[in-house]
Chain A
Amino acid sequence: MTAVATQIQKAKTVLALTSNYAVAYAVKAADVDVVAVYPITPQTTIVEKIAEFVDDGELNADLIHVESEHSAMSAVVGAAAAGARVFTATSSQGLELMHEVLHIASGLRLPVVMAVPARALSAPISIHGDYSDLMNTRDTGWITYIASSAQEVYDTVIQAYRVAESVLLPVMVSYDGFLMSHTTEPVELNDEEEVKRFLPRRERPNVLRPEKPITMGAFAMPDWYYEIKYQVQEALQGSLKTIEEVDEEYGRTFGRRYGVVQTYKMEDADYAIVAYGGASFGNAREAAEIAREKGIKAGVIRLRVFRPFPTSYIVKYLSGVKAFAVVDRAIAFGGPGGGPVFTDVATALWMNGIDVPGISVIHGIGQRSMYVEDFVKIYEMLRDGEKNKVVYMGLRL
């Protein structure tokens, strides 16, 4: 027994990687065929690293050095339509420029995988991290993960290919711009042969092949359009099951799994913070410890999967608490709830007849520093009975 265990131990490679490099290593392990390359901070080091892998012969892929993100998404859509395994990455303005084609990728049911280290949007121009860009894509029909460590980023990109190719939907893997994309953590890499077994090549039924001509991207009149878009909705809702199964199988194979939501001290929590991304989750966990020392039964729920929205989990965890807060790193401008995820959480509860008071906290916009004390304060506000309001935290007024 021990001998076997040591053997496995020895085979493991652990590297110090930024989340961006973790993506590149996962893409290499996934043996992708086509990568569209276009620079934007904080994404750029992903495609730089992939270019190194290709130039060193470690990855047998074709790089398309496109002239814009619109073309990047279009090129991977074309390549995926021809049956290739594809990858691209972007952030911020690049993601906005892709927006039109994001809908097309899901409408065509193509298993495109993309990494998005999340970043603030212009104007004013900001290269720093928040989730404004990602949140604007929430209704595009993409499966969306938000990872919270470099290790999870690596594991999630590999899982993403398996999920995308199973449910025939595109997948985005997002994480904190700069706070994760440019900070180094230890990452355990999988054996690449084992990854290949985990991601077998299967011929998809609907690809562009001269032997079996099909028409993709047709024009649909009102008698058909609705049904086709409904199928995207059905596939996306149904994908949660696949996401969980893939995560479980990944856990059995490689020893790491994450679930669709992650919780911290929720077993007996009275007050919960719902968060996403690395920095928010880290701070919230630390704050929960401090709050508990102050006698507040604090817990944290992290959304790992944002689309499809894990409604049943949110309902399950929040139905037992006295109050909750959602920390959003994006503003839903002019909306009723302040933050986009708060609005989702509130909707999830309301749709299930659950009336728990909540606070919508906006924080970390344009990478404004988020302090652990800020998160402690959120727990105190919840304890003190504050509810149903929007708090712009860290804002200078």
Chain B
Amino acid sequence: MKVVYKAIWDLPVEELFASGHRACAGCGPAIAMRWITKTAGPNTIVVNATGCMEVTTTQYPETAWMVPYIHVAFENSAAAAAGIDSAIRTMTKKGLWKSGKTNVIVIAGDGGTYDIGLQSLSGMLERGHHVLYILYDNEAYMNTGIQRSGGTPRFAWTTTTPVGKAIRGKIQAKKDIMGIVMAHRVPYAATASISNIIDMANKIKTALEYTEEGPTFLHILAPCPPGWRFPEERTVEAARLAVETGYFPLYEYDHGKVRLNPPTSAIVADPKRRKPLREFLKFQGRFAHLTDAEIEELEKEVVANLNYLAKLASL
């Protein structure tokens, strides 16, 4: 990771994501949007998939976006971005693009990435477009009212995986989207959390720089108060606990090399520094039903994942 920002003071002052949008109070994705646009700067085109970030920010005739923005549909943001990239490249050659170097950034939710948009994401990555794809992960289809997605964790309550007598929340584990992206051998992919702003901003900068070579990817954890069922003032805390409990490790994939970032690297080096998973789970309504045995099961998965990542990082 290229360290451009050392402290919050180093970040640009200019806001490119306007306040007054219609996202819920305490919306994790909205926090992400603010830092993404700020870091990327005005020479950026945003391609947004359908989802909370689109419907809450573009209610005609108003918009929260101070950079050029397009929403096409739910499953095709990567394909639309590929078209924009292709247009900029050819038009530059023909002297028809006069804006100079322009970032093309996709912003899509977990549903639009893990599920319905996976095909177009894969195609875009395979073809090597100069696009930064940012997944903001709130771990469910929130815009349609909290349904499970491929990014929803095991045992989580959603409206389509209700907690009943026979089945207790989502049955399957969360899909390893980073693994899928890394398998495309892109120049750069990284995880980030809205609780670790400086780390996230530096990763955005790094990813944008690497898009000269090819597609880059960021997986940002962005908690959703109504979807996860916690009070809206605890969003950043939820994201921080996700990182500190090892539930959402911070790491990068840089030209084939996996590197763990703080605080995940510290947790892996000294497992005693990892907070118990219960701290992350228990204040969220979506996990309120979990038994100790189930928490233990999830904790085992967290540890196994950290071990797996530590191995990858040692390669």
Cross-chain contact A76 with B60 (CB below 8 angstroms): no
Asked if B137 is at the interface (CB within 8 A of a chain A CB), the reply is no
Give A33 to B93 CA distance when docked, in angstroms.
10
Closest CB in chain A relative to B100 CB, distance in Å: 8
Other 4 A-B pairs with CB < 8 A, given A74-B72, A74-B80, A81-B80: A67-B120, A78-B81, A82-B83, A86-B83
How many A-B pairs fall under 8 Å by CB? Answer: 167
| Segment at the A interface, from B63-71, B150-158, B165-173, B232-240 | B63-71
Binding site for A on B (CB under 8 A): 42-45, 47, 54-55, 58-61, 63, 65-73, 75-76, 78-84, 86-91, 93-94, 96-97, 99, 102, 119-120, 122-123, 126-127
Give A219 to B23 CA distance when docked, in angstroms.
13
Residues of B within 8 A of A211 (CB): 99
Most buried by B among A36, A72, A77: A77
| Segment at the B interface, from A56-64, A115-123, A242-250, A370-378 | A56-64
* 3 pairs of A and B residues whose beta carbons are closest in the complex: A78-B83, A67-B123, A78-B80
Interface residues contributed by chain A, number (CB under 8 Å): 47
Residues of A within 8 A of B127 (CB): 64-65
Cross-chain contact A64 with B83 (CB below 8 angstroms): yes
Residues of A within 8 A of B72 (CB): 74, 77-78, 101, 104, 108, 217
In A44-79, the 8 Å CB interface with B consists of 60-62, 64-68, 70-72, 74-79
Asked if A34 is at the interface (CB within 8 A of a chain B CB), the reply is yes
Give A78 to B42 CA distance when docked, in angstroms.
19
A and B contact pairs by CB, cutoff 8 A, 17 listed = A64-B83, A71-B76, A74-B79, A78-B70, A78-B79, A78-B81, A78-B82, A82-B45, A101-B72, A208-B70, A210-B42, A210-B43, A213-B65, A215-B68, A215-B70, A217-B71, A218-B71
Most buried by B among A80, A83, A201: A83
Give A372 to B45 CA distance when docked, in angstroms.
56
Residues of B within 8 A of A218 (CB): 58-61, 63, 71
Give A215 to B83 CA distance when docked, in angstroms.
17
Most buried by B among A100, A210, A211: A210
Give A361 to B75 CA distance when docked, in angstroms.
40
Point out the residue from A74, A84, A108 that lies within 8 Å of B76, measured CB to CB: A74
The chain B residue sitting closest to A223, CB to CB, is: B60
